[in-house]
Structure 1
Amino acid sequence: MSIDKELREELQQAADSMHCPPDLYGRVRQSYQHYVNEKRGGFSMKKRMLAGIVAIAILIPSAVFAASYLADDIFGSAATIEQQGGTQEDYEEIDEMLQAAKGKLTEDEFKEYMELTKQVVQLKLKITDDKGVKHEEKLTKEEQQQFEQLASKLAPYFEKIQGTAKP
């Protein structure tokens, strides 16, 4: 007989002669049942990951559509720009510029910047026809002066937004 078979037989005889307390069988059975129930009842990691990806795929686009445009504060809607000969891309470009300004200016500076921008836009809308062509001769002398004053007040903000301001 080989040594492996002899060893196996000796271990089998030793195991047969051992006696376990009866409550040990109950505890082992209970532990095994608990393990099986956990395995069946819970979500696996793959299912949780899949549920998370689906949630993200749904929430991110809806958050993008729900976000308000800063340009709405100035124009009211994209339709206003389109009536004046602009496009949706123009509207989004203006909104991106306003978002950049919001990030680079303090809250008070941004409020003043938005107010000045609203005034400039109102003047520009007044001189722009439905094809997007500007007719500056439509402005009165007072409106032309107001336009120049607004442009000079906005210049430091533009420098700060573009990063060319001197400290």
Structure 2
Amino acid sequence: MDFENQLRDELQNAAEKMQPSEQLQMKVATSFRTYRQDKMKRGGPMKKRLIAGLVAVAVLVPTGVFAGPTLVDKILGTPSEANEQFGTVESEYQEYNELFEVANQIFTKEEFEKFTIAWKEYMTINKKTIVVDGKRTGRSSHRLSPEELKKYDEAYYKLEPYLNKIHSKFTFTVDEAKKLMSFPVKYPTYIPKNYQFDTEEVRTEITSGKPKPTINITYKKSNADESQAMAYWTFTIHLSENVEEKLVPFEDNIHSFEGASYDTRTNYSLDGCSVTLGEYKFGNKIKGMRVIVPAKNGQSSYRMFIPHSTLPKEELEKVLMSMVE
């Protein structure tokens, strides 16, 4: 295959994938520059079909593919540089870019600069709480000396007002969250004996796109023995669009189904829905269940899950399936 056909195929693959890797972007850009320089030296015009291919890529590939560095690049450097300086792992890198993009939208230029300075100061100290012998691990402020702990707290107090302003843009009431959801929000019509409604709240990840909130509905057992683990006397239903869970690396993802450390997961179907039962081996009776409802009638697919409960499998099924329209 000659060079031009090879380049055209690479460009087409990039357009089809829509999210080319950094290596492919560099390869295509370098190939194009080399080809263009060679043509200019020989005084020959670029062929029309190559130009047409480049125009197609410009139309099909998202603007950011061949654009300049993102905010996270500018502020933290490359992923390896961010890891070296702040202990950032790959899965956090894009989340930080979302944070900076939102901050850039809602802060003045002066506020944004102060925010990034405060963020770096905090994260520099924070690295000592999450990196041990060069390896990322769980967070523990006990790794800080008294002097470092004081600086850690002071750095967070500087950062906190900016974080509060960001989070305020993603704070919704339940009624507001319902309006953002493209599926029917129902409460369970079946509640196990001795349980009653307790609280509800909305959680929303920071994003520069459309917010995708999760409604958390908690039910509590009457006359509960609160000296036991919460799973013995409460259960919480998490309701959201069927989107991939973003887990916080090396942290306890207590509001997650994917992040739960079940020993076994069993998948099956029930009334047209996909069900997953998560169980532990050692007889503590705690289990979890997720139900995914397929998209239909112009409504998006959605999911409900209870990550930790001592309710029997049959009871979990009744609760979650009673929320399916």
Q: Same fold (TM over 0.5)?
A: yes
Written as runs of structure 1 = structure 2, the 5 A alignment for 1:142-153 is 142-153=147-158
| 62-71 vs 92-101, which moves further | 62-71
Q: Measure, in 2, the Cα distance between the counterparts of 1:159 and 1:99.
A: 16
* Number of positions where the alignment pairs a residue of Structure 1 with one of Structure 2: 115
Displacement after TM superposition at 1:75 (Å):
3.4
Aligned residue identity for 1:108: E
Higher share in helix: 1
Q: Measure, in 1, the Cα distance between the counterparts of 2:96 and 2:103.
A: 11
- Superimposed CA distance per residue, residues 73-96 of structure 1 (whole angstroms, 9 cap, x where no aligned partner): 453321245568754231001111
CA contact (8 A) 2:72 2:93 kept: yes
* 1:139 is the counterpart of 2:144: yes
1:105 aligns with one of 90, 104, 107: 107
* 1:79 is the counterpart of 2:80: yes
CA distance change for structure 1 residues 116 and 82 in 2, over 3 Å: closer, same or farther? Answer: closer
Displacement after TM superposition at 1:56 (Å):
5.7
Q: Which has the higher contact order (CA 8 A, sep 6+)?
A: 1
**Which residue pairs with 1:91 in the alignment?**
93
- Superimposed CA distance per residue, residues 103-155 of structure 1 (whole angstroms, 9 cap, x where no aligned partner): 11111011000001001111111222213322322212122111111211222
Aligned residue identity for 2:157: S
CA contact (8 A) 1:101 1:110 kept: yes
**Which residue pairs with 1:44 in the alignment?**
none
Partner SS state of residue 66, structure 1:
coil
Structure 1 segments unaligned to the other structure (5+ residues): 1-50
| 73-82 vs 95-104, which moves further | 73-82
CA contact (8 A) 2:118 2:155 kept: yes
1:155 aligns with one of 156, 160, 174: 160
The normalised TM-score by structure 2 is 0.31
- Superimposed CA distance per residue, residues 38-95 of structure 1 (whole angstroms, 9 cap, x where no aligned partner): xxxxxxxxxxxxx5x9526337547434331322345332124556875423100111
CA RMSD, Structure 1 to Structure 2 (Å): 3.1
CA contact (8 A) 1:71 1:95 kept: yes
CA contact (8 A) 2:71 2:100 kept: yes
Q: Which has the larger radius of gyration?
A: 1
CA contact (8 A) 1:70 1:95 kept: yes
Aligned residue identity for 1:66: A
* Percent of residue pairs bearing the same amino acid type: 25
CA distance change for structure 1 residues 103 and 63 in 2, over 3 Å: closer, same or farther? Answer: same
Aligned residue identity for 2:102: A
Partner SS state of residue 68, structure 1:
coil
Partner SS state of residue 155, structure 2:
helix
Q: Measure, in 2, the Cα distance between the counterparts of 1:143 and 1:55.
A: 54
